[in-house]
Amino acid sequence: ISPKHAVEICRELKGMKLEEAKDYLKEVIQMKRPVPFKRYNKKVGHRRGLRGWDSGRYPVKAAEHILKVLENAEANAEYKGLDTENLKIIHISSHRGQPIRGWIPRAFGRATPFNRPTTHIQVVLGEA
């Protein structure tokens, strides 16, 4: 997933209750609620429904993957005996991972690098 999209989504989710965050991500996937882009916002258009910020987008792929990570974290918390009704996102962050290196053949025997970015997502849940 895009590291830039993941950073913007994580910034928005930090401090939310887990159920609230999952509902928010589902609305982003359905393109009903935009994610405010505060850092990576060059040439990003304005979206309606943002409070206190103008530019935003609907990063569907990143939202799907982060939703999967949150559901996994919820299952881990349930396994450890925590109350899943009162879980809150204490810490969530994303960082660029090591790129998956690839090459695209070009004319005259040349090749150009074609690298796919990877993203590391870290989530810490706690009982509120």
Contact in structure between 38 and 8 (CB atoms under 8 Å): yes
Task: For residue 51, name the pLDDT band (cuts at 50, 70, 90).
Answer: confident
Give the 3-state secondary structure percentages of the chain, helix then strand then coil, rounded to 5: 40, 25, 35
Determine the pLDDT at residue 91: 96
The structural domains of the chain, ordered by start, are 3-127 (3.90.470.10)
pLDDT number for residue 48: 87
Q: What is the pLDDT of residue 101?
A: 97
User: Per residue in 59-99, pLDDT tens?
Assistant: 999 999 999 999 999 999 999 999 999 999 999 999 999 99
Segment 106-123 mean pLDDT? 96
